[in-house]
Amino acid sequence: MKPRILILSCLLLAGELFAQQYQKTAVGIKTKLQSMDVEIQFYSPSIVRILKSPEGVLFKKESLSVTKKPQETKLTIQQKGDVLSMKSEKLKVDVDFKSGKISYYTLAGVELLKETESGATFTDFDDVGSKTYSINQLFTLDKDEAIYGLGQQQRGKLSLRNTKINMIQDNKDDYVPFLVSTKGYGLFWDNYSPTTFEDKPRSTSLKSEVGDCIDYYFMVGGTIDGSIAGMRELTGQAPMFPLWTFGYWQSKERYKSQNELVGVVSKYRELGVPLDGIIQDWQYWGNNYLWNSMEFLNPEFPNPKKMVDDIHNMNAHLIISIWSSFGPQTKQFREMEPKGMLLNFGTWPQSGVESWPPNRDYPSGVQPYDPYNPEARDIYWRYLNKGLFSVGIDGWWMDSSEPDHLDFKPSDLDLKTYLGSFRKVRNAFPLMTVGGVSGHQRAASSDKRIFILTRSAFAGQQRYGANTWSGDVNSSWESFRNQIPAGLNFSMSAIPYWNTDIGGFFAGAYKKGWGDGTKNPSFQELYVRWLQFGAFTPMMRSHGTDVPREIYNFGKKGEPIYDAIAKTIDLRYSLLPYIYSAAWDVTNSQSTMMRALVMDFNDKKVVDISKEYLFGKSILVAPIVNAQYTPETIVKSNEQTGWDKNNEEKGAKDQTINFTQTKSTKVYLPEGTVWYDFWTNEKIKGGQEIEKTTTIDESPLYIKSGSIIPFGPKVQYATEKKWDILEIRIYPGANGEFTLYEDENDNYNYEKGAFSTIKMEWNDKSKTLNISKINGSFKGVLKNRTFNIVLVDKTNTAAGINNSKFNKTIEYSGKAKSVKL
């Protein structure tokens, strides 16, 4: 009898020990692992959060990026030996009490990701008097999986494997600590301090300088798209931009008077070249001591209201440069400084007088503000609203939003912000400053959609109506090549809107011996190829210093370079129905506009292709990224050297270049589909590299079989004509579908249901196009329209746009129709 009692007691004790190993919560469990307090929280069936901290150390963490709250999720919890398994409807999470590692699986038992044993470390760190930690977490990745994201890097590569990246925001590098895997999961490291990502053969790690806790989110999406959708569910959805933002934008450093600015728009209208946006760069406020005053204090801008009205009367829009810093003579500086709302470190500009090199005898005194402080964000908007929004400016060019941090000293990170040391929150600076403007504008008015062009970004910024550009990049072929993988990794970081300075920012090297540089064939070729790439990014914006970018500086109609530029801009406008519908797919279905080929094709050869991508889900873009007509020039410059204007000395001109010659380039077409050459309609089987004949005015474009693409009318600006007559091209060879989206173009009524969709489905076997009844309505919705339908084949030699032979023309009044072709 006594032995039985002993055995029973041991069993009860063992059960009690197992029971004490974890505690159930409303959204998961709490437990202790290897001297750490660990909490696992399910935010949804597919998203789980892991929190780790040294045992017994209390902390408070309110995420700057995450907007979603954890939701009660149906879980099955079972323990076998040392392993606790938690199952939701979407994934399984295993906790190994012995090794301390956490692993993630599909419901079918396929391992997705696992921590390494003893992979979490906390190292004591004194953060300007605050006891905290440097934190590190190690994971084990499969040898053959590929990972992408982590924001924008100028590495020239797509894959993140076998890479070390020191993530601290910079002019040309925008870091977002979110990555996606070809195995169908996403990982978000929720930390704002300088962080190092390193992928080695045995482990992959994320190490941050400051963290009261390890805080990361694992999400299972099944695909890269699904993982991105999970990240947007967690950190906010991307709103719709106005239709006009998808037109062509002209800019330069800088228009020096309101007459010059308005004159550019007028000249485009006179030439009949489409234009929707013009951008005013810095110093409309006057001297550097008045930096970012948000007022037109420069006498060359005497009547800003008239300037804005003149631009609007030509059916164009204006956005204007604003910064994250203020000069010492501005009202903002004088109001913020006594309240401790400025960060005293070296930023742009460094001299109070406009000259190069900076005159250190006359320091500018410009300082960034503290956007982590809600009162500082209020002050920022108050002046922005009064000085610029009130005169009708249409959007904001938020320059230096990382911000510029020149002559960096480690002690600069010791500066105090509203949320602690600058070190602790450094990388979230762009999120806070962009969010401050976006939130205030939306509270002030819903009549005009927020549009912010910004130089930096952080996790969650997609919710603020911002399009990020890639910074002050060099004007060189090498730099141009780097932009494609930079944009694709940025897009796979769940922030869908991105663009570049078309032609590159620092272009002074092309002026030597060539006046303003616009007649230099080396720059002409690079500019045209960059423009052709820019036509297939979410914002088509020409900008840079030294060499002007307006079309009329490159010649006149009938000349090869002028005609190539005009043709590319026209192509962009013809695709606006496709592009705007793709934007709705981003907002409504968490899609991505610039798509790495690995997102859509199960083809091992595309895993690390960094020079091609899909724009939307139908158009393969293969930019020409090597010089074909001129020698390639390597240009190196940065924020410091790029402003050196000592480049007017005479130089040897290139030999005469014949831009009418045909050239060729290689293009890889992914397997699993048939492709159509956009320019010739030639049908080509995927899974092969081809040699493509090219001209200066055409860059390789291919359309996936099964695609349905609407083409809009020829216009001078995006809303000039309604889409009452559309060309609908069908690329046969597979079934396909497309949803045409329309709304009121520039307000938030779409959030209340004021929009319409028309779904089109192609049945390849029966050669039938089924057009649904119109779904939804809004003020101004078209009651009747004409669809000119083209079944693409080589007999319909389209030469790109606007001159195909129509197979059928149908009248559509909003009722369902089937068309046999």
Q: What is the 3-state secondary structure (H, E, C) of 405-455?
A: CCCCCHHHHHCEECCEEHHHHHHHHHHHHHHHHHHHHHHHCCCCCCCEEEC
Angstrom CA distances, 212 to 115, 123, 124, 191, stand at 20, 10, 10, 10
List Cβ neighbours of 426 (8 Å cut-off, separation of 6 or more).
168, 169, 192, 193, 194, 413
Of 310, 402, 563, 727, the catalytic one is: 402
Q: Are 490 and 471 in contact (CB under 8 A)?
A: no
Of 37, 399, 603, 677, the catalytic one is: 399
Comparing CA positions, the residue from 714, 694, 695 lying closest to residue 560 is 695
In DSSP notation, 369-400 reads B-TTSHHHHHHHHHHHHHHTGGGT--EEEEET
The Cα–Cα gap between 696 and 500 comes to 21
List Cβ neighbours of 113 (8 Å cut-off, separation of 6 or more).
103, 104, 139, 140, 141, 181, 183, 185, 187, 218
Q: Cβ of 733: how many Cβ atoms within 10 Å? A: 19
For this structure, is 603 an active site residue?
A: no
The Cα–Cα gap between 264 and 277 comes to 11
Q: Are 247 and 576 in contact (CB under 8 A)?
A: yes
The encoded tokens of residue 474 equal 């060099």
Q: What share of the chain is helix, strand, coil (3-state, %, to 5)?
A: 25, 30, 45
The encoded tokens of residue 603 equal 């083809």
For this structure, is 212 an active site residue?
A: no
The Cα–Cα gap between 31 and 215 comes to 15
Question: Do the strands 147-149 and 185-189 form a parallel or antiparallel pair, or are they unpaired?
Answer: unpaired
The Cα–Cα gap between 680 and 677 comes to 6
CA dihedral for 431, 437, 438, 439, sign (positive or negative): positive
For this structure, is 743 an active site residue?
A: no
List Cβ neighbours of 270 (8 Å cut-off, separation of 6 or more).
none
- What residue type is 195 in one-letter code? T
Angstrom CA distances, 571 to 248, 535, 564, stand at 11, 8, 11
Comparing CA positions, the residue from 668, 740, 99, 130 lying closest to residue 416 is 130
CA dihedral for 26, 28, 29, 33, sign (positive or negative): negative
Burial of 598 per CB tally in 10 Å (0-12, 13-18, 19+):
buried
Q: Are 476 and 634 in contact (CB under 8 A)?
A: yes
Dihedral (Cα; 280, 286, 290, 294), 10-degree rounding: -40
Q: What is the DSSP letter of 348?
A: S
Stated length of the chain? 821
Q: For residue 521, is the peptide bond before it cis, meaning its omega torsion is within 30 degrees of 0?
A: no
List Cβ neighbours of 446 (8 Å cut-off, separation of 6 or more).
747, 748
Q: Are 717 and 274 in contact (CB under 8 A)?
A: yes
List Cβ neighbours of 502 (8 Å cut-off, separation of 6 or more).
527, 530, 531, 533, 534, 540, 541, 542, 543, 544, 549
Of 37, 225, 370, 472, the catalytic one is: 472
**Alpha helices per DSSP H over 167-257:** 224-235
The Cα–Cα gap between 448 and 365 comes to 35
- What residue type is 571 in one-letter code? L
Active site residue ranges = 399, 402, 472
